[in-house]
Structure 1
Amino acid sequence: MNDEPVKGPASYFPSIEKKYGRPISEWQALLRERLPAKHMELVAMLKNDHGMGHGHANALVAHTLSQDKG
């Protein structure tokens, strides 16, 4: 078991789920539906269409895109 705190974009995930009421997997699916959009286009979509703050939107997009790069 790893007791180290989560770092990087994923550290925002608990507060994103709490504040916006959807699991991270749903947000990631929403982002992936819009690919191959650019990073900042996806951030803007989350902010404009879903009222997400910049830090949360940026963290979610960064983490999702890095996962998809493999």
Structure 2
Amino acid sequence: MVDDADISSEVEEIARANSLAALMRKAPTAESLTECEECGEDIPEARRKAVAGCKRCIDCARKAEKTTDRMFPQS
């Protein structure tokens, strides 16, 4: 016999699978830029290879992440 906990568990599993599928569709597959879109500095080849679709140099990426963390704290 199926109870509410089983149904909730199944709904949660489906939602998690859908969320993961959506994230995978959004994963960057484009080539990385050779110059940072923020400051125009060259993006090192190692970073371009390590981070698919990167558009910022490491310094600008850190600044953007700090801004995001201030706007959306992870607590």
Same fold (TM over 0.5): no
- Indicate the structure whose relative CO is greater, using CA pairs within 8 Å and at least 6 residues apart: 1
Greater fraction of residues in helix: 1
TM-score scaled by structure 1? 0.30
TM-score normalised over the length of structure 2: 0.28
